[in-house]
Amino acid sequence: MKQTKTSSRKFAICVSNADYPVSLELHKLYRLVPDDEAEHDGDLRVIDESGEDYLYSAEYFVLVEFPRPIQRALQTSFARTMQSASV
Confidence tier at 86 by pLDDT (50, 70, 90): low
Cα separation, 61 vs 13, in Å, equals 5
Cα separation, 5 vs 46, in Å, equals 15
Cα separation, 28 vs 46, in Å, equals 12
State the first-to-last Cα distance of the chain, in angstroms, to the nearest integer. Answer: 38
Which SS3 state, helix, strand or coil, does residue 1 take?
A: coil
pTM: 0.78
Q: Domain extents for the chain?
A: 11-85
pLDDT in tens, 44-85: 999 988 889 999 999 999 999 999 999 889 888 888 876 776
